[in-house]
Copies of this chain bind each other. A is one copy, B any other.
Amino acid sequence: MSYQAPIKDMLFVMNELAGLQQVSQLPGCEDATLDTVEAVLEENAKFCGEVVAPLNGPSDKEPSFWHDGEVTTSAGFKVAFQAFGESGWQGIQHPQEFGGQGLPKLVGTPCTEMLNAASISFALVALLTDGAIEALLTAGSDEQKALYLEPLITGKWTGTMNLTEPQAGSDLAAVRTRAVPQGDGTYKIFGTKIYITYGEHDMAENIIHLVLARTPDAPPGVKGISLFIVPKFLVNADGTPGARNDAHCVSIEHKLGIKASPTAVLQFGDNGGAIGTLVGEENRGLEYMFIMMNAARFGVGMQGIGLAERAYQQAAAFAKERIQSRDLAGSSGPVAIINHPDVRRMLMSMRSQTEAARALAYVGAGISDIAHYHADEATRKASLAVYEYLVPIIKGWSTEMSENVTRDGVQVHGGMGFIEETGAAQHYRDAKILTIYEGTTAIQANDLVGRKTVRDGGATAKSIIAQVRATEAALGEAQGADLAAIRKQLALGSTALEEVVDFVVANAKLDVKGVFAGSVLYLKLAGIVLGGWQMARAALVAQQKLDAGEGDAAFLRAKIATARFFADHILSGAGGLRSAIVEGSAGVLALEVEQF
C-alpha cells in the first residue's frame, strides 16, 4: 500500500497554526522561507514515498535477523539509509557546522512524520541517531564533537541509547553497568543492556552507543549514573573506524511489531572491557540522557502521527474500492463501503484524530523553535515552559491515539484486515510499542503531573487554557452551526481541563496516589482539549478564508467538518474523563494487592 505525504495539510498547519512565518524570522532560521520549506517537504515526500514506504510491508514479513553476533537488516534498508544520509535528511535540524542543514524543528517535524509514515522500523535508526547527536551537541567535549558529530549527522554512522537493563526496566536507579577508569581518560565498561534499538545492524560503518553506567565510587540511585560513548569500532584520531570494541550483540528480540528494526541485547566487556569515553561530567548522565529522551519523546509522538496517517490512507483507499451491500438510503446494487455510515464514522475518527495530533505537535515544534532561537530571553523561557508542558502530551496522546486509529484501520477492512497480507494488521502491531518505549504513557503522565503541572502550581497549564478561552471567544463571534458546535464542546473541554488542573495542584501533596491514579486520564484529557483547540483554530481560519473567498474551498470546508467531528466525537469525552480523575480514585485504590 502506497503512502502519499499530506503536504497540503502539513503546510496549512505550519502556516496557519504553528507560525511558520514568525519562526522564519527568528535569528538562525532565516533559511526557512516558505519556498524553501515547500521544496524541502516535496523532496522529502518523494524520498519517503518512493524509497522508504515500499520497504515497510516486505520488511515486516522478512525482518532483520541475528547470526553470530551480527544483524542483517531487511532487504533494501542499507541502500535506503545510505541514500537518506547522502541526501542530507539525517541532518535536517542539525547545525550546518557539522554537516547539517540547520533548519528549525518546525520544518524537521513534518519530515520526521513522513519518514515514520513510510516505515517506523526504518525511521527508528534516524530517531536514535538524532538523540545521540542532541546529547553530544549539549554535553560532548569539543574533541568528541569533532570526532563523532559529522559522521552521525551525515548518516555515515548511527547512534543508540543504552538505558535499560534486565533487572531495571524503566527504573534507572537500578542501573548496574560498571565503568572503570583506566587512568588514560578512557573507561572500561562492563554490563548487559536490553531493548537497544538498532543496537547492531549492517546499515552504517559504525555504531555509536551512548551508555549509562556507574563509576566505582558513584553514589547509589539516579545520582550516580554517568554517560559514556562506546563505539562499535573505536575511532582513530583521523576519524576512521579502528579496532572492534568489546560491545557485542548476543541476541535480538522476537516482537509483536516493528519487526524490521532490530532490538538488541548488548553485552559490554565480556572480553576484557568495552572502551568508552565519558560524556560531560561524572554522575550527570541522567541529565544528558534526558536531552536525548526529550527529543526522542517528541519523535515518538511523530511516529504515532505518521503511523496513524498511513493507516488512515490505507483504510480510506480500501473503503473506496471495496464494494459491498446496498446504500442505506437506497441504491440499485452494492456500493463502496465508504458509503456505509459506520465506515464513514471510523474514517472521520481516524482522520480527525490524526489531524488534531499533527496540529498540536507542529504547534509544539514552532514553540520549541521560539524557545531555542528567539532573541529575547524571557520569551525563550516562557516558550520553553509551554513546550515542555506539551512534550508528554504530544508523546503520550499521539501514541495512544495511534493505537485507536490503527485499530479502526483494521476494522474498516473487516475480515481482510485480520489477514496479514492486507497490511492493516502490521500498523496495529507496530503501534503497540509507541505507548511503551521512550517512557510509557504512565511515565509521560507522571512527568505531566509532577514536573510540568504541580511544580509551577499549574501556571503554565493555566496560561495555555487562557489561550483556549480566547479561541472560544473568537468562535462565539463566528457564524454557522459547525463553529457553534465546536465552541460548545471546546468550552466544556477547557472547563473540564481547568478543573482537573486545579484538582491536581490542590491534591498532589495531600493525596499523591489519588492524583496519580488519574494521571494518564489527565494526559488524555489535555490531549483532546488541546488537540480540539487546534482543530477549532483551523476551523476559524478556514471559515475566515471561505468568507474572504480565498483558498481551496473544498479543502477548507473539509477542515471545518473534520473539526466538527472531532468536537462532537472526541472532545465530547472530556466530561467523562474529568469525572474519572476527580471522583474516580477511590475505585482505583480500594482493593488490597492480594485481591487481584
> CB within 8 Å of B: which residues of A?
164, 168-171, 173-174, 195, 253-257, 316, 319-320, 322, 324-326, 328-329, 334, 336, 338-345, 347-348, 351-352, 403, 407, 410-411, 414-421, 425, 428-429, 432-433, 435-437, 440-442, 445-446, 481-482, 485, 489, 512-514, 516-521, 554, 557-558, 561-562, 564-569, 572-576, 579-580, 583-593, 595-596
Contact = CB atoms under 8 A, between A and B. Distances in A.
A514 B344 CA distance: 11
A160 to B, nearest CB: 15
Report which residue of A195, A421, A587 has the largest number of chain B beta carbons within 10 angstroms of its beta carbon.
A587
Nearest to A352: B587
Report which residue of A320, A341, A567 has the largest number of chain B beta carbons within 10 angstroms of its beta carbon.
A341
A428 B432 contact: yes
Contacts of A168: 324
B593 A336 contact: yes
A340 B436 contact: no
Nearest to A566: B587
A345 B520 contact: yes
A401 to B, nearest CB: 13
B587 A342 contact: no
8 contacts: A256-B419, A319-B596, A342-B516, A344-B517, A345-B518, A562-B587, A564-B587, A572-B575
A497 to B, nearest CB: 15
A565 to B, nearest CB: 3
Contact of A415 (B416, B437, B593, B595): B437
Nearest to A590: B561
A195 B415 contact: yes
Given A418-B255, A436-B418, A596-B316, A174 B334 contact: yes
Given A445-B342, A586-B482, A579 B348 contact: no
A591 B586 CA distance: 43
A-B pairs, top 6 by smallest CB distance, nearest first, are A565-B587, A561-B590, A568-B584, A342-B442, A256-B425, A341-B517
A248 to B, nearest CB: 20
Given A255-B419, A590-B564, A485 B583 contact: yes
Given A171-B334, A572-B580, A341 B254 contact: no
Contact of A575 (B164, B421, B576, B590): B576
